[in-house]
Structure 1
């Protein structure tokens, strides 16, 4: 709280030369007037753009934390519980191709995010980048969409934890667990960001150990390495077959099955973009974030592709058990295989790790959402009260709003209230595709500005010659998937108002927020020649980061995960 008074002395964000230049010019912070049009502004250096973060936040995260946070965010219930549903929808080969394809899109998104964030490492990541590279109104719309989605994600993950615990103790009152997890989530959120990083690091290690163990177990089981269990190999690829017709028959039905799994896979991979949300709280972000994104997409893709391959060997696509939507370990294809092998411990192990996954997702939603809210307040897209920070650099007002919203988890105790709660959640059902599209669009705008200003991309802190092409292709497919993610409701006999809203209303919400802010504040698209790339690059060259320390000693044994 002591930092808040300091933050009120001036608004360095709007002054081209920063607070020192203002003092030299004879002005005082108390006499400073607001700009006539705060919807349109320019900055002349990287320091001006990140002045608030440098002053109020603390750099408690390292590249090790970033890599494992992104891994922890992406390896969750989608991997442990939902792969069976993908096999049932698209078949083993259809699912394998779909997850591999989405892995390539994630690669484009991660590298685009890494290049832009290495240039401008600010809290709020691509939301703030949209303000700088495109239009302040776009940053407003994207930011509030993420804040709203995460306001609901925290209680939904806590509700999921209660369902998972009921796998063991259905007799216990769920309200007890809701209170417990709200309290411990709040404790993590208000602690120093370094402690959050260490907790997520631990969760990621647990998840990786489990998924590696399950992949090895599944391979041994499928190959007949467990006594009393018949070797299946690729039997289910032959019968019922590598693809499953979905909605229609023949080749068109098999393609629709593949496309439906593509959409499922997107939500399984969601969370990888969180690697840069706390860039301003990261040590040496221009080195740490590029290293993290390079490793994250590869490891996530490998884990998912191998898991889909193994699951396609373990269970048949027409097995009714993999279509169960109870939300507990009973739905996991790995648990189904373990039950057939007579191994009783695996269901409880999987359920326990999935509980840590849900809590990890809750922590990450709170961190990402509160930092985006802080970033919105920096530009006055949100009330300035959200800029208040503790003496150890936590935006406590922003965090507190997310804690208050977490009490919505009590709605899960009533069937009627739960229906309303999930309607709220469905309003941002396609938010991940909107975020990915924004990341790729920001990257393309950056390279267009470089060309317009005659600046070589080689001057960027991190650059890859192929990424502009990957971003263009990735943007095309993310928009295509965004427009077709609810295709089922347009097929004969499958119309559903709820399904349509889940799939498309978020597009309208973002468009409405963008339009309203643009009309009210009269914002303009930032001209490519006005983006202050030269001054930002010069400042980076004047203030190089210290080289990162390499892992030493026994930690090097597992450091391949993040180094």
Structure 2
């Protein structure tokens, strides 16, 4: 298969007709590159131009290529996204969604957000096929939209990850309290050390850790789905068949804030906010693109296939939970955040299966630690990318001999000690309030991914390649959800200044960072005709490597990631 064909397979354009695909783009523009010298910014395969110029380019720079190591394989990249998306949002958070929207409202909410995530993943994969750089969509924003947007989104992610990592470690401490009264400071120290150790290791070791954690979580969620189905059908001795009993009473929807059809719609809409945070993490799989082998093929393929696997797990889990647990069960909102809150545990306990709570608690602990590892990878690579573009101190470009940006890791390691705030109840309240401030950052990241893809498609049209795509619809939905995420505070009797700030503060923070960098650097929105598609497509033709054929047993075992 040709390089152009590999690129086409890796990232087929959403909704594009067969004649208007990436292969045609690569062939036609590649020929133009070879036959017409470009006076500005042309890719020079002979290496005549000054190679140092690439350190200011929009492609993989000399610094990345020299100092980072390509230790992530296709299977690592695919399961990193699954490991990040299947976590506390699935094992514990589904109960709150059922309570808020009812079984059908929750199912529709997760399905709606799943469609948005589909567009986000496809958009990320297609842009990464052209620009497989460290920092992913943060760096993409610089070349496709405006350098000021890359600066604003980059620091928004750095800020968010500085808080989310200690938050996950704090969650681990709470989960251990389900079993033991040992002082939480011990668990904090242990998991800070483990997280920093994984962050300082060779990227391939991180990939292996996340790979096996992802497999563990996949096996466990499949087990819980099958267990739930068995309980629902009455196959457990002494347990009556439940079926869709709870869809009839209390009912498929729950009225939220208002009454009647409007109240049921608000319940459904409130579920979508929870669903967004449950799916969070899938967009970070491309953060270490410059450390991935054959990234122009591996990452787009992972983006396409990971979505279907994650969406399947969530949709099936929501469906089963809605059949097992009443939406008005008070245990769904016990407020402790331990395994007792899991709807799977509630159903298993009712069926007399007493060993399930501890099993769920153990898996959720591994999920929380896996999430902290992924947040560390995402944060360090974004900070490294900012330093590459002179938007952060150059000291963060220092790497170990095995290619890890160790000063970036130590920077985030310092913020992990915020987890000790969990030892004080008052401080913990403030800490979780600060963590809530980063909640809409997920939607802002998705909006950035979709905006990058929208600009790429507009640029291809402006440069003679008209294509069809579904990004605008998903982009509009993300913006609507972003601005309505805190809608309860605007309803009568529900105003809360802290809830309003935690729901919307991230928006002015990003806007302020964008405006300040734009004024300071006098950046301009990139013209569509100036986006370097010719360089990118020509370089893609040269970079893509044919994938080796796998033996039969590898194809069977690797169905989750290949």
Q: TM-score, normalised by structure 1?
A: 0.90
Does residue 1:160 correspond to 2:178, yes or no?
no
Asked if the contact 2:434–2:502 (Cα under 8 Å) also holds between the matched residues in 1, the reply is: no
1: CA distance, partners of 2:50 / 2:285: 37
Question: Hey, what does 2:514 align to over in structure 1?
Answer: 514
Work out which of the residue numbers 442, 456, 471 in structure 1 matches 2:452.
442
Q: Is the 8 A contact 1:106 1:297 kept in 2?
A: yes
Question: Residues 19, 412 of structure 1: CA spacing in aligned structure 2 closer, same or farther, 3 A cutoff?
Answer: farther
Query: Corresponding residue for 2:411?
Result: 401
2:124 aligned counterpart, secondary structure: helix
Q: Is the aligned partner of 1:292 residue 2:291?
A: no
The alignment status of 1:283 with 2:282, answered yes or no, reads no
2:95 pairs with one of 62, 68, 84: 84
Q: For 1:380, what is the secondary structure of its paired residue?
A: coil
Aligned partners of 1:69 and 1:538: how far apart in 2? Answer: 29
- Counterpart check, 1:243 vs 2:253: yes
Q: Does residue 416 of the first structure (1) align with residue 415 of the second (2)?
A: no
Deviation at 1:558, TM superposition (A): 3.1
Q: C-alpha distance in 2, partners of 1:426/1:255?
A: 24
* Alignment partner, residue 162 of structure 2: 151
Asked if structure 1 preserves the Cα contact closer than 8 Å seen for 2:286 and 2:299, the reply is: yes
Q: Which residue of 1 aligns with 2:68?
A: 57
Deviations along 1:244-277, whole A, 9 cap, x unmatched?
0000000000000000001110000000101111
Provide, for residues 273-327 of structure 1, a one-character-per-residue CA deviation record: whole Å limited to 9, x for no partner: 0111111110000110111011111011100000000000100011111121211
Distance in 2 (alpha carbons) for counterparts of 1:395 and 1:337: 45
Per the alignment, residue 367 of structure 1 pairs with 377
Unaligned runs of 5+ in 2: 1-40
| Offset from partner CA, 1:500-544 (integer Å, 9 cap, x none) | 011110000000000111111111111111111112212222x14
TM superposition shift of 1:84: 1.1
Which residue does the alignment assign to 1:142?
A: 153
Partner of 2:212: 202
Cα-to-partner distance string for 1:137-169 (whole Å, 9 max, x where unaligned)? 000000000001001111110010000011000
Question: Is 1:339 equivalent to 2:349 in the alignment?
Answer: yes
Structure-2 change in CA distance of 1:523 and 1:404 (3 Å): same
Tell me: CA distance 1:175–1:18, structure 2 relative to 1, closer, same or farther (3 Å). Answer: farther
- 1:561 and 2:548 correspond: no
Alignment of 1:356-395 (within 5 A): 356-395=366-405
In the alignment, the residues of structure 1 paired with residue 535 and residue 317 of structure 2 have an alpha-carbon distance, to the nearest angstrom, of 46
Q: Counterpart in 2 of 1:213?
A: 223
How far does the alpha carbon of each residue in 1:54-83 deviate from its partner, in whole angstroms, 9 at most, with x for none?
Answer: 121110001110110000000000100111
Matched residue, 1:7:
none
Separation of aligned partners in 1, 2:361 and 2:538: 51
Match of 1:500 in 2: 500
The answer as to whether partners of 1:551 and 1:559 remain within 8 angstroms in 2 is no
Distance 1:223 1:434, change over 3 A: same
Select the residue among 57, 67, 80 that pairs with 2:78.
67
Contact 1:161–1:355 (CA under 8 A) maintained in structure 2 = yes
Distance 2:92 2:266 in 1: 22
1:318 to 309, 328, 337: 328
Task: Name the CA distance, whole Å, in 1 between partners of 2:56 and 2:529.
Answer: 12
CA contact (8 A) 1:15 1:22 kept: no
Tell me if 1:525 matches 2:532: no
Distance 1:211 1:167 in 2: 21
Matched residues in 1 for 2:403 and 2:178: separation? 39
Give the Cα–Cα distance (whole angstroms) in 2 for the partners of residues 79 and 423 of structure 1: 22
Alpha-carbon shift at residue 429 of structure 1 (Å)? 1.8
Q: How many aligned positions are there?
A: 522
Indicate the residue corresponding to 1:488 in structure 2: 488
Q: Does the residue aligned with 2:505 lie in a helix, a strand or coil?
A: helix
- Residue 194 of structure 1 and its aligned partner are, at CA, apart by 0.3
Asked if the contact 2:43–2:539 (Cα under 8 Å) also holds between the matched residues in 1, the reply is no
Q: Distance in 2 between matches of 1:146 and 1:278?
A: 14
Taking the aligned partners of 2:338 and 2:90, their CA distance within structure 1 comes to: 13
Give 1:556 deviation, angstroms: 3.5
Displacement after TM superposition at 1:186 (Å)? 1.1
* Corresponding residue for residue 136 of structure 2: 125
Give unpaired runs (5+ residues) of structure 1: 1-13, 36-40, 458-464
CA offset digits 1:367-423 (Å, max 9, x no partner): 000000000000011111111111111011111101111111101111122222223
* CA shift in 2, pair 1:553/1:388, >3 Å: same
Q: Distance in 2 between matches of 1:42 and 1:381?
A: 12
Structure 2 Cα separation of the partners of residues 551 and 104 of structure 1? 32
- In 2, the alpha carbon distance for the partners of 1:19 and 1:440 equals 35
Give the distance between the partners of 2:174 and 2:237, measured in 1 at CA.
Answer: 34
**Are residues 192 and 533 of structure 1, via their aligned partners in 2, closer, same or farther at CA, if it must alter by over 3 Å?**
same
Contact 2:296/2:540, CA 8 A, preserved across alignment = no
What is the deviation of 1:427? 2.4
8 Å CA contact 1:67–1:293 kept in 2: the answer is yes
